[in-house]
Structure 1
Amino acid sequence: MATDETSPSILSMLADWAVSLMDIIGPPGAGIAIALENIFPPLPSEVILPLAGLAASRGSFTLAEALIWTTAGSVVGAFLLYTLGALLGADRLRRAAEWLPLVRGSDVDKSVAWFDKHGGAAVFFGRMLPIFRSLISIPAGITRMNPVKFGLYTLAGSLIWNSIFVLSGFFLGEQWHIVEQYAEILQWIVIVGIVGVIAWFVIARVRDIRRHKDDPTPQER
């Protein structure tokens, strides 16, 4: 299971580690790698999942085992971050927001209200987006989203994402890295979107501050 020679050395090391884990303990190794990927995003699921599919195509374990264990790993990793969010809580986040420039405590309240209303869809689609795959579990915990509901949406979204990459590795074989190129494009689209949202927020908040700088009424915090 060699990686592309043009890949960065760190990527090769991570891929080799994931392969070794699968070689030693079989499909549970793929599940452990994916659970850790949720907590430590530099571990790329776009590499681990196709390698699990490649191992299945070679008979190291079945395709069903690859899908079951990687999806189980996704759910376990997501619940670990959900717990972190629950321990953090909205009150602590609101107090932390008071210390951040351009951020208000009311922003946290609005975000919590939005997540209460759209949390299910956010978790489901977030599990299929780079970067958000892991991060989406934290606001779910902060808002104390129903654990069963969170688990079901996480399971559904993760199964779709995992199936795409595991099946790619299964059918593409040694050319599994092709799918990684498309995943990288999606990742850059997400990054550009995040930067755009942050820029819009900063511009809107600065304009709001300027508009109210001569207003003696205190701004809502």
Structure 2
Amino acid sequence: MLAAAAAAMASIGGTFQQIAEDAAAYGYWAVLLVVAGDGVFPALPGETAIVAAAVLAADGSLSLPLVILAGTAGAILGDSAAYWIGRAGGGRIKRFVTRIAGADRLEAAERMVARQGPALVFVGRFLPGIRIAINLSCGAGQMDYRRFLLFDTLGAFFWASQAALLGYFAGKAFADQLWVAFVVAFAVTGVVALFVTVKERKRVKRERAEAEAERAAAGRAATPEA
């Protein structure tokens, strides 16, 4: 029993050590590219890439300000790509990204953007599930790109900073056991992501119910009385 547990711990340690080596090898460019890709393909681990790089920044392998800068730049690039895909209208890429975002999320995002506008662009950086739908909707809704870019840049900076600081302080707390720092930082990130996902789904369901109620009311109003 103890031997199996020790083997499992060794395996986990080896996995996270490999993550550390890869992050150190590819550094800031890896963070930028992964985060940028996450803006269009949410399956990519954008936040995880920042956390991993920041853990390494804690022991001096990388620079914390440059990790934050790379994460911010990647987020702006990815979000801007989604914006311009939304602005482009039809096409195979738009249809593919729309399928990734989900019809319910797109409808919810359109309603939320109409009400909250630029503020939602800022907050959307912290909402991984509906983020791409918000950015697509901003592009499709013809929000001025300069306005979008301003609020997206602010959101990207604060989002990258909080992820980097989480990884950095975990790295400092477990400086002698780097793999433990990775486990703790990723666990906290996972718990927060789960909480946000649950809240997002409730919000999307509420927006869908409100939209259906509005359509039903409009249908009744348009039907002449007998």
TM-score, normalising length: structure 1: 0.70
1:150 is aligned with what amino acid? F
Percent identity between the aligned chains?
Answer: 25
Aligned to 1:159: 157
Aligned to 1:79: 80
- Deviation string 1:18-59 (CA, Å, 9 cap, x unpaired) is 767633332111111100111111223342221121121132
Aligned to 2:117: 119
| Distance across 2 between alignment mates of 1:17 and 1:146 | 43
Whether the aligned pair in 1 keeps the contact of 2:82 and 2:136 (CA below 8 Å) is yes
Structure 1 residues 138 and 16: CA distance shift in structure 2, 3 A: farther
| Distance across 2 between alignment mates of 1:27 and 1:198 | 40
Structure 1 residues 34 and 20: CA distance shift in structure 2, 3 A: farther
| Distance across 2 between alignment mates of 1:202 and 1:143 | 21
1:163 Cα deviation from its structure 2 partner = 1.1
Whether the aligned pair in 2 keeps the contact of 1:35 and 1:76 (CA below 8 Å) is yes
1:216 Cα deviation from its structure 2 partner = 4.3
| Distance across 1 between alignment mates of 2:75 and 2:162 | 14
Matched length: 184
| Distance across 1 between alignment mates of 2:81 and 2:41 | 12
| Distance across 1 between alignment mates of 2:113 and 2:165 | 32
Aligned to 2:64: 63
Q: Which segment is superposed worse, 27-36 or 180-189?
A: 180-189
Q: Secondary structure at the match of 1:61?
A: coil
| Distance across 2 between alignment mates of 1:194 and 1:123 | 16
Whether the aligned pair in 1 keeps the contact of 2:54 and 2:62 (CA below 8 Å) is no
Aligned to 2:99: none
Aligned to 2:43: 42
1:195 Cα deviation from its structure 2 partner = 1.6
Aligned to 1:198: 208
Structure 1 residues 129 and 79: CA distance shift in structure 2, 3 A: same
| Distance across 2 between alignment mates of 1:21 and 1:35 | 18
| Distance across 2 between alignment mates of 1:121 and 1:149 | 11
5+ residue gaps, structure 2, are: 1-7, 10-14, 95-106, 172-180
1:88 Cα deviation from its structure 2 partner = 0.8
Higher helix share: 2
Aligned to 1:51: 52
1:171 Cα deviation from its structure 2 partner = 0.5
- Deviation string 1:175-196 (CA, Å, 9 cap, x unpaired) is 2123221221122111122122
- Please point out which of 131, 140, 143 is paired with 1:142: 140
Q: Which segment is superposed worse, 180-189 or 43-52?
A: 43-52
Whether the aligned pair in 2 keeps the contact of 1:116 and 1:145 (CA below 8 Å) is no
5+ residue gaps, structure 1, are: 7-12, 94-107
RMSD of equivalent CA atoms: 3.2
